Structure 1
């Protein structure tokens, strides 16, 4: 139930962030994908002390609706990030590529911050711009909810090496 509450809070925050709740907004919704999952790996693993880490994530998006591209129903994606992180915080830029079910793609560049939330649950809100492919020039907001981090792994020399959770995606022009 707690995860559902977090998803609801993230969805409300997401819709507010991209102006969907304001009828006066000049933004045009390009695509909204409220359902998704992600699996990510850290190399080397994250520990309590900040260090240079490469993060790779793969995932799927579903339930997509696009007024401008009605054939879009889902996507797979990869994200590549390199930066200084710890189990408690970090910020960096990232590049993500979305492969739509129509055979088209979108490459997004942007940034995000990692902040540990109460109980270990992390909510990431990534913002960026589509720099290549479908929806080029659009602003992207992607919300990721990553369940309680295994903080005991952060205390080991190997560190936390993987994480998974839910994700959603919205592109607005």
Structure 2
């Protein structure tokens, strides 16, 4: 009887060890290079250029916005995402001094081991002291690296005097550029 009692626990331990080894191997073989923990945070500076169709005037009207730019350098707990390019498009009731919009965008990271971060946003333009309009977009990363993270883009629209005067024309301001910050939480 002694051999029977000892063989059952040995078989159980062997089965548990085999199952644990299988789980460990499955975990090691899963691609983790692009996975970003929910606690990862990143803050990037950059620059963007936006176009407006129709151009922005002093009166709010339905306007489509398309923007492209560069993101980086980036600082935070993640060293794989140090910069890249950004593009977004949206539409809403906008003017040179205010309004709201919504849309989607994409950050393509410069590190080839990463996956682009696709996001959706809602945003608003407001006039800040000193006459600088600031566009603040807030949303969530829908796919790619940082999926599920909150994203905030703040873009200072710093038009030249000529561009500012375009706001007073019927055609309006058709393009503007400025510095941006991107925060992922």
Q: Which runs of 5+ in 2 are unaligned?
A: 1-37
- Give the superposed CA RMSD: 1.8
Mean Cα displacement is larger for which, 151-160 or 115-124? 115-124
Count of matched residue positions in the alignment of Structure 1 and Structure 2: 144
Name the structure where helix makes up a greater proportion of residues.
2
Query: Which of residues 58, 67, 70 in structure 2 aligns to 1:57?
Result: 67
Q: Is 2:163 the partner of 1:160?
A: no
1:88 deviates by 2.2
Q: In the alignment, which of 48, 58, 75 is matched to residue 48 of structure 1?
A: 58
Match of 1:83 in 2: 92
Q: Please point out which of 119, 124, 133 is paired with 2:135.
A: 124
2:110 aligned to which of 89, 95, 101: 101
| Contact 1:128/1:139, CA 8 A, preserved across alignment | yes
TM-score by length of 1: 0.76
In structure 2, the partner of 1:7 is none
Paired residue secondary structure (2:41): strand
Match of 2:27 in 1: none
* TM-score for the superposition, normalised by structure 2: 0.71
1:66 shift after superposition: 4.5
